[in-house]
Amino acid sequence: MSKKHIFPILLAICAALYPVLSDDRYIMNILIMILLYATIASGWNILGGYGGQLSLGHALFFGLGAYTSTLLYLNFGLSPWVGMIIAVIVCIIAGMLIGIPTFKLRGPYFTLGTIAFAEVIRHVTLYWRDLTNGSMGLNIKYEPSFAAMIFKEYEYYYWLILGLLVLTTLLVHWIDRNKMGYYLKAIREDEDAAETLGINTSKYKMLAMMISTGITGLAGVFYAQFNLFFEPESVFHMNISTEIALIAIIGGAGTVYGPILGAFIIIPLNEILRASFPDIHGMNYFVYGILLIVIVILTPNGLLPIITKWWDKIFRKKVSKTKGVTKYDLESQ
């Protein structure tokens, strides 16, 4: 096992043990939201971080996952565990349909295209009241059962989203070490050059979109079952898409653990700002903007590379003269 993997593994073990050591529901709720956004940002990272396709419309798939599973549960009594699979498929198909026209665009035009699609779907859910109940939202009755994915204890939600994050991280790690990761990085750096080298850029961008949207839809299902109520503004709003991208970029886009680091910074910061400035709407986004500017200037690759350097400096293996005898020393004796 590589030494650089020891710390993440120990961190995951400590995270899994936290509910056993503490029953503070407020802290648990914050941790659940951190893990949720870390999962979504890790999914976004595959497309936006590795592939360089900066989507600001991922709230579309987050909301689509939530609505798909919940509507199937409320109207047909289908278990959210099954609805979760269907929601992922729906999100992947939606991602493919959106990717076909938007991948013909590059740079900010692609970003604007994703925003446009997300806003269209948000307005459709707002005004298609017969299906979505519009701005009144969807309410899931609190009837705890495993089949309904509704639990009395917060610990089960915590372990569920932690498990989803671990699986997502393992998938991102595999992509990072696989040829897909190298191809996506090549596309990010110079798409024309990547095509010249024989990389099927359309194929790998679409694969990244499918995986990314599937993970985001999965997180949307969890959010619906955790909150038991949501409406279009709470799942489709552009602020969600912005936060997802910010978390990955601030933590370190195009890295395995960057989005997780970003979530552990942004979500607690969001709670602190809301508590400190309850009367100032949007203070969190003002601070996010300043933070993003500072990071882009000082460390364009995010905070993770800096922390990694510090980690390497602290734990770098140093060979002391007293711990080894060289061939020259033996010959001189």
Place 321 in a pLDDT band, splitting at 50, 70 and 90. Answer: very low
Residue 280's pLDDT band (cuts 50, 70, 90): confident
- pLDDT value of residue 308: 82
For residues 165 and 2, the model is more confident at: 165
Confirm if 99 and 46 have CB atoms less than 8 A apart.
no
pLDDT tens-digit map of 173-208: 999 999 999 999 999 999 999 999 999 999 999 999
Tokens 């665009």 — which residue?
105
Question: For 265-274, what is the mean pLDDT?
Answer: 91
E-state strands within 46-201: 138-139
Give the count of beta carbons closer than 10 Å to the beta carbon of residue 308: 15
Q: How far, CA to CA in Å, does 43 sit from each of 29, 80, 138, 260?
A: 21, 21, 25, 11
Per the prediction, the chain carries an average pLDDT of 90
Res 322: pLDDT:
41
> Do residues 268 and 40 touch, judged by C-beta distance below 8 A?
no
Q: Which two tokens mark 227?
A: 């909150």
pTM of the model: 0.90
Q: What is the pLDDT of residue 277?
A: 85
How far apart CA 63 and CA 70 sit, in angstroms, is 11
Q: pLDDT confidence of 2, banded at 50, 70, 90?
A: low
Q: In this predicted model, what pLDDT tens digit does every residue of 289-320 receive, in sequence order?
A: 898 888 888 888 899 888 888 877 776 654 44
Residue 317, pLDDT score: 56
pLDDT, position 104? 93
Question: Per-residue pLDDT for 163 more than 50?
Answer: yes
Q: At what angle do helices 238-251 and 258-276 cross, to 10 degrees?
A: 120
Give the span between the Cα atoms of 303 and 269, in whole angstroms. Answer: 15
Between 291 and 48, residue with greater pLDDT: 48
Q: Return the pLDDT at 306.
A: 87
pLDDT of residue 316: 64
- Residue in 235, 236, 261 with CA at minimum distance from that of residue 248: 261
φ, ψ of residue 320 to 5 degrees: the values are -85, 150
For residue 330, what are its two tokens? 């033996």
Burial of 83 (C-beta count, 10 Å sphere; 0-12/13-18/19+) = buried
More confident residue, 163 or 10: 163
Mind listing the pLDDT tens digit for each residue in 88-102?
999 999 999 999 999
DSSP assignment of 15-31, as one string? HHHHHHH---HHHHHHH
The residue extents of the domains of the chain are 21-237
